[in-house]
């Protein structure tokens, strides 16, 4: 978490109101070096809300419980 770019921006960006625009949060995730670890963390907690690892809650529902690092 120390290396996460989301620490440098307003956290509310990652928790858009129901169906709100998540594109700015996802842009931050696309530049982040720990996106895979962030996503893996969120997949371990199925009820995580918001944008994690560049994905929305809906996207994570259809993913396996862990993502292997490349």
pLDDT for 1 beyond 90: no
Count of the separate structural domains present in the chain: 1
- Whole-angstrom distance, CA of residue 61 vs CA of residue 24: 21
Q: Residue 70 domain-assigned? A: no
Domain boundaries, position 9:
5-61
The secondary structure of residue 17, as a DSSP letter, is S
Secondary element (H or E) of residue 39: helix 35-43
Q: Residue 36 domain-assigned? A: yes
> Which residue(s) pair with 52 in the sheet?
55
Instruction: Give the residue from 68, 38, 34 showing the smallest Cα distance to 55.
Output: 38
pLDDT digits (tens, 9 = 90+) for 23-56: 999 999 999 999 999 999 999 998 899 999 999 9
CB 25 within 8 A of CB 14: yes
């Amino acid at each position: 978490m120390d290396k996460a770019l989301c620490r440098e921006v307003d956290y509310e960006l990652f928790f858009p109101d129901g169906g709100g625009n998540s594109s700015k949060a996802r842009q931050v995730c696309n530049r982040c070096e720990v996106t895979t670890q962030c996503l893996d963390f969120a997949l371990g907690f199925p009820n995580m809300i918001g944008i994690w690892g560049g994905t929305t809650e809906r996207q994570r529902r259809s993913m396996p419980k862990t993502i292997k690092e490349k």
